[in-house]
Structure 1
Amino acid sequence: MDRDRYVDFLRAWAIVLVVLGHWLITGLVRGPDGGITAPELLATLPWTQWLTLGFQIMPLFFLAGGHAAGGSWSRAREAGGTAAGWVGQRAVRLLLPTALYSGLVLLAVAACSAAGVDPGTLALVGWAMAMQFWFLPVYLILSALTPPLHAAHRRWGLRVPVAMGAAALVTDLLVVAAHTPYVGLLDYVLVWAVPYQLGFCWRDGLLTAGRRWLPAGMALVGGLAFWALVGPGPFPVSLILVTGQTPSNTNPPSAAMLAWAVAQAGLCLLVAPTARRLLARERVWRAVRPLGGASMTLYLWHMLPVLIVAAALYLPGLAPEPAFGSAAWWWLRVPWLLVLGVVLAGAVAGLRPLEGRLAALYERTRPQAGPGPRHPLLLWIGLAASVGALTRFATQGFAYGGRFPVLPAVGLAVGAALVLGAQRIGVRHADEPREALEEAA
Structure 2
Amino acid sequence: MSSGPSAERDRAVDALRAIAICGVVLGHWLVTAVVVSGDTIRVASPLRAVPWLAPASWLFQTLALFFFVGGLVATRPRPGKAGLAATGARPEVRQAGAVANRGSRDVAIGALKVADGAAGDQGGPGDQSGRSGRDDRGGRNERGGRDDRGGENGRGRQGARRGYGRWLTGRLERLFRPVLVLVAVWSGLVIAATVWTYVTAASPSVDDSASGWAGFVDHLAVAVRSHTVLKLVASPLWFLLVFAALTMARPLVARLHPGWPLAVVAAVDLGRFGLGAPAWIGWVNLAAGWLVPFCLGAAWSKGRFRARGSAWFMLLGGAGATVVLTRWFGYPVSMVGVPGQGISNLNPPTLAAVTFGIAQCGAALLLMPVLHRLMRRDRPWRMVTAVNLSAMTIFLWHQTSLLAVTLLTPAPLSGLHTAPEGPSWLFARLLWLPVFAVVLSGCWVLFRRHERRRPAGRPARDTPIDAPSDRRARNKHRGEEHCSEDHCGDDHCGDDHCGNDHCGDDHCGNDHCGDDQCGDERGSGHAKELRPLADASPGIRP
Please report the TM-score for the alignment, with normalisation by the length of structure 1.
0.73
2:45/2:420 contact within 8 Å kept: no
Structure 1 equivalent of residue 259 of structure 2: 162
Residue number in structure 1 paired with 2:290 = 192
Given that 1:35 and 1:315 are in contact with CA atoms closer than 8 Å, whether structure 2 keeps it comes out as no
Instruction: Provide the secondary structure at the position in 1 that maps to 2:344.
Output: coil
Q: Which residue of structure 1 aligns with residue 495 of structure 2?
A: none
Quick one: distance in 2 between partners of 1:345 and 1:181?
40
One-letter amino acid of the counterpart of residue 175, structure 1: R
After superposition, give the CA deviation of every residue in 1:47-68 in whole Å (9 maximum; x if it has no partner).
Answer: 3332221110110111111111
Amino acid at match of 1:124: T
Shift of 1:340: 0.6
Contact 1:234 1:247 survives alignment (8 Å)? no
| Counterpart selection for 1:18 from 2, 24, 27 | 24
SS in 2 for 1:115: helix
- SS of aligned partner of 2:234: coil
Q: CA–CA distance in 2 between the matches of 1:269 and 1:354? A: 33
Q: Flag the 1:145–1:297 CA change in 2: closer, same or farther, 3 A.
A: same
- Give aligned pairs, total: 356
Q: Give 1:319 shift.
A: 8.7
Instruction: Write the letter of the residue equivalent to 2:61.
Output: Q
**Aligned twin of 2:60:** 55
The within-5 A match list for 1:135-150 is 135-150=239-254
In the TM superposition, residue 96 of structure 1 has moved relative to its aligned partner by: 0.6
Determine the structure 2 residue equivalent to 1:172.
269
Q: Distance in 2 between matches of 1:41 and 1:284?
A: 32
- Cα 1:310–1:144 change in 2 (3 A) is same
Measured in 1, the distance between the counterparts of 2:328 and 2:57 equals 19
Match for residue 300 of structure 2 among 202, 213, 224:
202
What is the deviation of 1:78? Answer: 4.3
Report 1:260-279 matches (<5 A). Answer: 260-279=356-375
- The aligned counterpart of 1:305 is 401
**Cα pair distance change 1:44/1:109, threshold 3 Å:** farther
Q: Partners in 1 of 2:416 and 2:168 — Cα distance? A: 49
Q: How does 1:403-414 map to 2 (within 5 A)?
A: none
* Equivalent pair of 2:71/2:293 in contact (CA under 8 Å): yes
Deviation at 1:28, TM superposition (A): 4.2
Residue in 1 that maps onto 2:526:
none
How do 1:174-253 residues align onto structure 2 when only pairs under 5 Å count? Answer: 174-178=271-275, 179-208=277-306, 211-253=307-349
DSSP 3-state at the match of 1:225: helix
Check the 8 A contact 1:313/1:319 in 2, yes or no.
no
Structure-1 residue corresponding to 2:435: 339
Q: Tell me the equivalent position of 1:79.
A: 85
2:139 paired with 1:134: no
Q: In the alignment, is residue 113 of structure 1 matched against residue 210 of structure 2?
A: no
- Residue 126 of structure 1 aligns with an amino acid whose one-letter code is L
Structure 2 residue corresponding to 1:104, chosen from 185, 193, 215: 185
Q: Which moved more, 1:40-49 or 1:291-300?
A: 40-49
Q: CA deviation at 1:127?
A: 1.2
CA contact (8 A) 1:165 1:190 kept: yes
- Could you tell me the percent identity over the aligned residues? 31
Residues 317, 43 of structure 1: alpha-carbon distance in 2 compared, 3 angstrom cutoff: closer
Q: CA RMSD in A?
A: 2.9
Shift of 1:277: 0.9
Q: Contact 1:215/1:270 (CA < 8 Å) preserved in 2? A: yes
1:36 CA drift (Å) = 5.5
Distance in 1 between the 2:79 and 2:318 partners?
29
> Higher mean Cα deviation, 291-300 or 74-83?
74-83
Counterpart Cα distance in 2 of 1:240 and 1:163? 25
Instruction: Say whether 1:70 aligns with 2:75.
Output: yes
Q: CA deviation at 1:247?
A: 3.2
CA displacement 1:372-394 (0-9 Å, x = unmatched) = xxxxxxxxxxxxxxxxxxxxxxx
Provide the rounded CA distance (Å) in 1 between the counterparts of 2:329 and 2:171: 39
Q: What CA distance in whole angstroms lies between the structure 2 residues aligned with 1:46 and 1:60? A: 25
Offset, 1:144 = 0.6
Q: How much has 1:85 moved relative to structure 2?
A: 2.5
Once the two structures are TM-superposed, the CA of residue 330 in structure 1 deviates from its matched residue by 2.6
1:92 aligns with 173
Unaligned runs of 5+ in 1: 154-159, 370-441
> Structure 2, unaligned stretches of length 5 or more?
1-6, 87-159, 206-221, 459-478, 482-542
Question: Alpha-carbon deviation of 1:353?
Answer: 4.2
Aligned-residue offset at 1:235: 0.8
- Return the structure number with greater helix share: 1
Structure 1 residue 40 displacement after superposition: 3.2
Shift of 1:130: 1.2
Q: How far apart are 1:77 and its partner, in Å?
A: 4.4
- Whether contact under 8 Å (2:414, 2:428) holds in the other structure is no
Report the CA distance between 1:339 and its aligned residue: 0.7
User: Does the 8 Å CA contact 1:195/1:261 hold for their aligned counterparts?
Assistant: yes
**Paired residues for 1:347-386 under 5 Å:** 347-356=443-452, 358=453, 360=455
Superposed CA deviations along residues 115-160 of structure 1, whole A, max 9, x for unmatched, are: 227377321211121122221111010011012222x15xxxxxx1
Shift of 1:249: 1.2
Distance 2:243 2:371 in 1: 26
AA aligned opposite 1:206: R
CA distance in 2, matches of 1:237, 1:316: 31
Using the alignment, how far apart are the partners of 2:77 and 2:184 within structure 1? Answer: 29
Deviation, 1:26, is 2.3
Structure 1 residues 244, 35: closer, same or farther in 2, change over 3 A?
A: closer
Using the TM superposition, name which of 252-261 and 197-206 deviates more.
Answer: 197-206
Q: Equivalents in 1 of 2:362, 2:414: separation in Å?
A: 46
Q: Is the contact between residue 44 and residue 339 of structure 2 (CA under 8 Å) also seen in structure 1?
A: no
Which moved further from structure 2: 336-345 or 19-28?
19-28
Larger radius of gyration: 2
Q: Distance in 2 between matches of 1:314 and 1:266?
A: 45
Distance 1:317 1:230 in 2: 35
1:14-36 CA-to-partner distances (Å, cap 9, x unmatched) read 111111111111234453x4875
Pairing partner for 2:45 from 40, 43, 52:
40
